[in-house]
Amino acid sequence: MPLTTLHIVNGDAFGDKLRASGINGEILVWHESLYEGPIGMQMSHSALLSMRATYMNNRYGIPEDTFKSQTIQQEAKLDTLTDEVDEVVLWFEHDLYDQLMLCYLLSRIDEVTRRPFQLSLICIDGFPGIDPFYGLGQLTVDQILYLHGTWLPVSENQHSLACKVWTAYSAPEPMLMATLLDEDLSGLPFLKKALEAHIARFPSMQNGLSAIQQLTLELIVDDEVSVLSLFQTISEQASHYGLGDLQFFGILNGLWHCEHPLIQVLGGERLPRYNEAWPPQFENYRVKITEMGKLILTCEQDYIFLNGIDDWIGGVHLHGRKDVWRRNAVTAGFSKL
């Protein structure tokens, strides 16, 4: 029988191009955004899956049944790998979004005992002639063919490291992650910077903002900026996050639709949600900082004290106005405030 290969990739754009390249093998596009929402060790666990489905519906308008069925189908595919393939090739990038997905898949596949197939990995942070490089979806079919066969077997060290990361990421407190950053992470060379970005997602001790929220306000403090140009600038200056437009709209909504808004969006009543076409004249939507936003930006007020928080960063549930986990920018540690 001919050898069979399964390619697991990070997005539909790249999946379509990989399919068009003619490289042998089945393609599984991993759609689950492990960057956000409630997280646990086993993502298909029924209680966790229901929580995640509700979160994604509230935040982005993704139908709960759609989210659940897609997750269950993906997880079921992993459970049948031993019977179907001779090699699994993982295609991923350097950013936080992909590194979390990679660590989950490596730790999840590690559960397949006496794995009879070869597990291989290709993970890049650039490609000749592409600058800036955001991801594999930028590559042409010919450029993808250039990468054919350059993947390498996943080592035991990489497996072990991925399992450590996922355990720390899904923990209900952030201390394991802070400790992990002091360890040797070179087995997965893009991991350290990605996990530093992960820690910067926690609210700061100074004003309760995450690093992305802080950057957003800094970019609009002097003038109104269009939503799309703001997203482009954030994508360039914080490319190590791997934010998509829908995720960025979610961040803006959090700053906008709260008790004491930090921003206003001019031009429309709301931002696009899942599977919605962008509204007419969306290119003219502009973001403006409020007076309260300026006070929070200068640390004269605190975002969480004023508005509270109800969100998840990995397995950590941030909830309420006080006694919330925050990051210390000086020590890279965590405290409750």
Q: What is the pLDDT of residue 329?
A: 77
b/e per residue, 293-323, with b = 16+ CB within 10 A?
Answer: bebbbeeebbbbebbbbebbbbbbbbeeeee
Taking the mean position of all CA atoms in its chain, how far away is CA 178? Answer: 18
195 is written with which tokens? 């996990």
List, for residues 11-66, the tens digit of each pLDDT value: 899 999 999 999 999 999 998 889 999 999 888 889 999 999 999 999 999 999 99
List, for residues 167-185, the tens digit of each pLDDT value: 999 999 999 999 999 999 9
List, for residues 62-113, the tens digit of each pLDDT value: 999 999 999 999 999 888 887 778 999 999 999 999 999 999 999 998 766 5
**Distance in angstroms (rounded) separating the CA atoms of residues 68 and 47:** 11
**Distance in angstroms (rounded) separating the CA atoms of residues 134 and 124:** 10
Strands 225-226 and 286-289: antiparallel
Residue (of 167, 189, 190) closest to 180 by Cα position: 167
Q: What is the pLDDT of residue 114?
A: 62
List, for residues 223-277, the tens digit of each pLDDT value: 999 999 999 999 999 999 999 999 999 999 999 999 999 999 999 989 999 999 9
Domain with CATH 3.90.199.10 in the chain: 200-336
Pick the CATH number of 200-336 from 2.60.40.1120, 3.90.199.10, 3.40.50.720, 3.40.50.620: 3.90.199.10
List, for residues 134-163, the tens digit of each pLDDT value: 999 999 999 999 999 999 999 999 999 999
Task: Check residue 199 and report its DSSP letter.
Answer: H
Q: What is the pLDDT of residue 3?
A: 63
**Residue 316 clears pLDDT 50, i.e. is over it:** yes
Domain with CATH 3.40.1360.10 in the chain: 5-169
Q: What is the pLDDT of residue 165?
A: 97
**Residue 322 clears pLDDT 50, i.e. is over it:** yes
**Distance in angstroms (rounded) separating the CA atoms of residues 145 and 130:** 16
Q: What is the pLDDT of residue 1?
A: 47
Q: What is the pLDDT of residue 43?
A: 87
Q: What is the pLDDT of residue 116?
A: 82
**Distance in angstroms (rounded) separating the CA atoms of residues 274 and 225:** 23
For residues 10 and 98, the answer to whether their CB atoms sit within 8 Å is: yes
Taking the mean position of all CA atoms in its chain, how far away is CA 18? Answer: 22
Q: Has domain 5-169 been given CATH number 3.40.1360.10?
A: yes
Residue range 111-138: mean pLDDT, rounded: 88
Q: What is the pLDDT of residue 84?
A: 77
For residues 89 and 121, the answer to whether their CB atoms sit within 8 Å is: yes
